[in-house]
Each structure stands twice: as structure tokens, then as C-alpha cells.
Chains A and B, each alone.
Chain A
């Protein structure tokens, strides 16, 4: 099962269906994909719009605050049947329908951003998901 062929649901800690993510590719521990808003996206859309606006004007301390706010959403990528989920952090959703995120917990961002990798170079969590 190729991970890149998967479409995942983006779910938050409140089990809200934020959207669907079709993974395009994974470079190191960074997931690139296409994002289609789900029924609950309007509840969180403003945070990502503010994030993009702050990025565009290079207001990097504001970006930092919005990162923290996004992290509190507790976002996860789940298979459509929700049998497998993986926590993600550094989630960036752009107005053009693209998304990037990293598998793991947001605490990784406060350190050096490194993730644990399996022998094949996939992050541990994604490697686990891929095997199911």
C-alpha cells in the first residue's frame, strides 16, 4: 500500500472532520498534499487564514503564536475508516488548496524538529501506518 496514494481525513481532538488530505509526496518528515475542506473546516478556517496572512507579511512572531493555536487543535491524519491515525504538527493549509504537515507531536517543533525514522527513512508513525 503506497502512502502517496492515500487520502486521509484530517480530524481534530474534538473529532471534527476538518478536511481530506490527498498525499502527494513525503520529503524527509514533511508531508505534501492537497487539501479539500471538510464540513467542520469553517470552524477553524480563520486560524489558517490568519496564519497565511502573517506568513505573507513575514510577521514571524505572530506566525509563532498561530502555530501554537493550531497545535491546540490536536490534528490527526486518519484513514477514512479511522482505524489508523497519526498525530501531525506544523500544519500549514494554504488558500490554493495545498497542505503540508509533519507526523508527530507539536512538542517536536519546540525542540530541533527532528523525528524518529525507521530503517527505510520513513518517520516511525508513518511507517507503522503504511504497514496496515
Chain B
């Protein structure tokens, strides 16, 4: 399971857009390699300045590791990303607090592309 942009606390935090989702959660991509996840983002948004930086990081972990921190993965395929899932917490937006995010971030291994 991959979080494009890296498995850091900053990149795992809920955005204002995601706080109002039902359930609140952040996007992750299932399966494949970190490189493939990054490529998916580039191909989906070919003129996005954000996702076409010359180098960026992808955080990778497993669903089992996430569960150890209290988070869950809910498959949520989209038209662009059939392997899309939402990382959620049973406590909703409140579950994405600093303490939980710190534990969550420790579960990710970050790969930075050249």
C-alpha cells in the first residue's frame, strides 16, 4: 500500500477536503511498487505541477501494519485509480490526531525517486 508524497506525518494528515468525506480519510494506492504508484499519479495528472516534481517520495506499508496503529483501509476504486483505497480511522477525523499520525508514520518505509 502506497501513499504518494511519503509516509510522513505532514503527508498523512487530513486535508480540509478530506475531513468532510464520509468516512474521513486519505487516499492510498494498493499493490504494485512505489515507482508504479508515482507513475500512476503522473499519468493521471500529466500537467499537475505538484505531482510532476523532478523527485518525490512514496511511502509504503502493509494493511496489517496500519491496523496495529488503529487505522483501517477501505477499498474505494475510482475511474482513474481502480486500486484506490481510503485510509480511515474508527474515530473519524479525530483519529487523525498528532499522536496517532506519529505512530502511523512509523509504519511507512519511504522511497525517494531520482
Contact = CB atoms under 8 A, between A and B. Distances in A.
Interface of A: 30, 32, 52-64, 67, 92, 94, 96, 98-100, 109-110
Interface stretch (B13-21, B61-69, B91-99, B105-113): B13-21
Contacts of A52: 48
B17 A59 contact: yes
Contact of A109 (B18, B21, B79): B79
Contacts of A99: 47
Given A53-B17, A55-B51, 8 more contacts: A55-B48, A55-B50, A59-B17, A60-B81, A61-B78, A92-B47, A94-B48, A96-B49
Contact of A58 (B4, B21, B46, B47): B4
B111 to A, nearest CB: 16
B17 A62 contact: yes
A59 B18 CA distance: 7
Contacts of B51: 55
B76 A92 contact: no
Contact of B50 (A56, A62, A100): A56
A46 to B, nearest CB: 14
Give the top 5 A-B pairs by smallest Cβ distance, nearest first: A64-B78, A57-B15, A60-B27, A98-B47, A59-B17
A59 B80 contact: no
Nearest to B84: A60
